[in-house]
A and B are shown apart, each in its own frame.
Chain A
Amino acid sequence: MDFASLVFYSFAAILLLSGLRVVTAKNPVHAALALVLAFFTAAAIWLLLEAEFLAITLVLVYVGAVMVLFIFVVMMLDINIEEMRQGFWDYLPIAGLVAGLMAVEMVIVLSGDRFGLSAPAPAPDGFSNTRQLGLLLYTDYVYAFELAAVILLVAIVAAIALTLRRRPNRKVVDVGWQVRQTAEGRIRMVNLKPQKPEYKEEDDE
């Protein structure tokens, strides 16, 4: 076994273990952190395949942005994951059986050389993965690229349509209104004449 396969197998093992942790962790923060580890190791495996751009994007976008947001949300919301996982053990036998069966089938089908693939030739010196991607995205795949952009637009529209609601009793601060206020509008000078307080003669007892 050469060094590259050793690296691959160790990263693959970490990836599988952390993936398992995501599903089984009791604490949602631990699950999110395990997911970060899974993304990191996946990025490392992509680096082994010389897909540097994808690897760095995975780290930047998923680990850097998405997961941080995710952990924020998990920490803000008090999620009781045990409650959500009711019935987990009840369904485990049948689900495990199905999953095991599928895993065995997949091993039978995918092990062995049924795809007739050969290892790609090593890239020449100075080959830039990123440059090649850039060249393809806006030429050969411009249609798919634009469609992906439209899907993102739909996601934005959907998120806004589902969360932006005008509720009448919401206590929201209108900054523009606050800034427009002047001293004249807020303070009223009243000239009060000095007067004696009136005591009412009342018999409470």
Chain B
Amino acid sequence: MIPPLSDFIIALPEIALLLVACLVLLIEAYTQSRQGAYLAAVFGLLLTGLLVVYTGTPETQGAFNGLYVNDAMGALLKLLACFAAIVAVIYSRQYLADRGMLGGDYLGLLLFAVLGMLVMISAAHFLSLYLGLELLSLSLYAMVAMRRDDVRSSEAAMKYFVLGALASGLLLYGMSLLYGLAGSLELGAVAETVRTGARSEMVLVFALVFVLAGLGFKLGAAPFHMWLPDVYHGAPTAVTLFIGSAPKLAAFAFVMRLLVDGLQPAYGDWQQMLAVMAVASLAIGNLAAIMQTNIKRMLAYSTISHMGFLLLGVMSASLAGYSAAMYYAVTYVLMSLGGFGMVVYLSRAGVEAEELDDYKGLNARHPWLAAVMAMFMLSMAGLPPFVGFYAKLTVLQALVGAGWIWLAVVAVFFSLVGAYYYLRVVKIMYFDAPAAADTIPASHAGDARILLSANGLAVLLLGILPQPLMTLCAYSVQMSLR
């Protein structure tokens, strides 16, 4: 059956983004204007966000013979992914321009990565889920490898690529087993098969192991986290900023689509596996981050621990848990954008502000930047009144509500351990004497400075007034659950 025109209208955001990505590639080829490519990318993402709002509905709409689904959760996540990508691009403009990387190829790949995220977010079929994931991953591999002459970044790209391919293989193997059980690649049909329980439980659990291992790799959850610190450390900081932000929303959508839309009836089985992954992530992420001297590496380990928290929300397998996990993902992206954004912002041509020592006495030189950075760090540590506190609180509430009290205790314990290394950054900025030479020169990208300040204030404001965003997340998850 040929898809009707209405299907294409539902998919307008993806179509528009694809056209813009091709346009960005062409603009630089024909006009040699790097500024033009940059503006086209930013406005293209803005247009995509507007189209998401235009096509978004509270009801669940399917399209393309069950390959595509448009629902409230998807619309909200897509809008936020576009927004996060815009912010990441604006933060990294100066950094990229200083290093000659700001061009059609980089921005084009970035837009294709965002397209992959949108496809993943609105997937209702193993095929579109996998294709979206590959589109995202392939673009990210190339972006990590972009600085060809840097040994560390080539090494990071190689590790990312090989482990990513392995994870895709595991995921596909699990999916093929599920296909064997259900006889269909549609997530709804798989859920139906699992619900009726007509098929072998053993094969289902076996397939789940592979699917979850693949998911763990893509999320960066322990014990599948080995690539993450090396990739975050080795990649150009602008790419680290991008990888650390919007793809986390897509990863959350991936987990929700696969485990909740597709395998919700088997939640008893995946709950235990997720619990193990979450506890391991919290432990390894928080303990290993203490020993880091490089802020990118430190934030990478902190990402692992945050992913553990996110999994805790999903594993409660309740409406409260899913909306808590979504709220966590959204606020984490906000904080991660700020944290890595500051690292990008403080870097200048030839200077990477990525060692913790580079932040010594930042307060004496740039008091406002130090204050904003402190807000991000305190929020990640989960201190009130910042938004990170409420994100952790809602996850813990959902956990206790679902009866997993010991997991909540473990999560609180490791959050306390984690607070140490976040507070250490604050201490370094405020109480250590600046290094003799001013390692971080004054900065001059005005738009990034304003946006960073707004980002920091948003972390504070959402912490004081957490209710609207939380309600929005809960509403969209509730409307999307089948």
Binding site for B on A (CB under 8 A): 105-106, 109-110, 114-117, 138-144, 147-148, 150-151, 153-155, 157-158, 160-162, 165
A interface, over-half SS? helix
CB pair A157–B199 under 8 Å, yes or no, is no
B56-113 interface with A by 8 A CB criterion:
63-65, 67-68, 105-106, 108-109, 112
Task: For residue A149, give the distance in angstroms from its CB to the closest CB of chain B.
Answer: 10
Q: What are the residues of chain B within 8 A of A106 when measuring CB–CB? A: 206
CB pair A147–B132 under 8 Å, yes or no, is yes
Say yes or no: A114-B202 contact (C-beta < 8 A), given A139-B3, A157-B108: yes
Say yes or no: A143-B68 contact (C-beta < 8 A), given A158-B139, A161-B105: yes
CB pair A161–B64 under 8 Å, yes or no, is no
CB pair A157–B127 under 8 Å, yes or no, is no
CB pair A160–B181 under 8 Å, yes or no, is no
CB pair A143–B11 under 8 Å, yes or no, is yes
Cα–Cα distance between A91 and B428 once the two chains are bound (Å): 42
CB pair B135–A160 under 8 Å, yes or no, is no
CB pair B206–A161 under 8 Å, yes or no, is no
Task: For residue B154, give the distance in angstroms from its CB to the closest CB of chain A.
Answer: 10
The closest CB in chain B to the CB of A152 belongs to B138
Q: What are the residues of chain A within 8 A of B148 when measuring CB–CB? A: 162, 165
Q: What are the residues of chain A within 8 A of B132 when measuring CB–CB? A: 147
Cα–Cα distance between A105 and B112 once the two chains are bound (Å): 39
CB pair B145–A143 under 8 Å, yes or no, is no
Picked from A105, A114, A138, A141, the residue with its CB within 8 Å of the CB of B200 is A114
CB pair A158–B203 under 8 Å, yes or no, is no
Task: For residue B116, give the distance in angstroms from its CB to the closest CB of chain A.
Answer: 8
CB pair A151–B131 under 8 Å, yes or no, is yes
Q: What are the residues of chain B within 8 A of A142 when measuring CB–CB? A: 2-3, 64
**In the complex, B119 has a CB within 8 A of chain A:** yes
Picked from A110, A116, A138, A158, the residue with its CB within 8 Å of the CB of B141 is A158
CB pair A160–B199 under 8 Å, yes or no, is no
The closest CB in chain A to the CB of B203 belongs to A114
CB pair A115–B199 under 8 Å, yes or no, is yes
Say yes or no: A158-B138 contact (C-beta < 8 A), given A114-B199, A115-B181: yes
Return 10 A-B CB contacts under 8 Å, by A number.
A151-B131, A151-B134, A153-B112, A154-B138, A154-B139, A157-B105, A157-B108, A158-B138, A162-B145, A165-B148
Q: What are the residues of chain B within 8 A of A154 when measuring CB–CB? A: 109, 112, 135, 138-139, 142
The closest CB in chain A to the CB of B138 belongs to A154
> Can you list, as one digit per residue, whether each of B1-35 has a CB less than 8 Å from chain A (1) or not (0)?
11100000001000000100010010000000000
CB pair B115–A150 under 8 Å, yes or no, is yes
> Can you list, as one digit per residue, whether each of B146-188 has a CB less than 8 Å from chain A (1) or not (0)?
1010000000000000000000000000000000110000000
Q: What are the residues of chain A within 8 A of B139 when measuring CB–CB? A: 154, 158
Say yes or no: A160-B68 contact (C-beta < 8 A), given A142-B3, A143-B128: no
Cα–Cα distance between A139 and B134 once the two chains are bound (Å): 22
The closest CB in chain A to the CB of B198 belongs to A116
The closest CB in chain A to the CB of B154 belongs to A162
Picked from A144, A155, A165, the residue with its CB within 8 Å of the CB of B131 is A144
Picked from A105, A110, A115, A143, the residue with its CB within 8 Å of the CB of B64 is A143
Cα–Cα distance between A150 and B198 once the two chains are bound (Å): 38
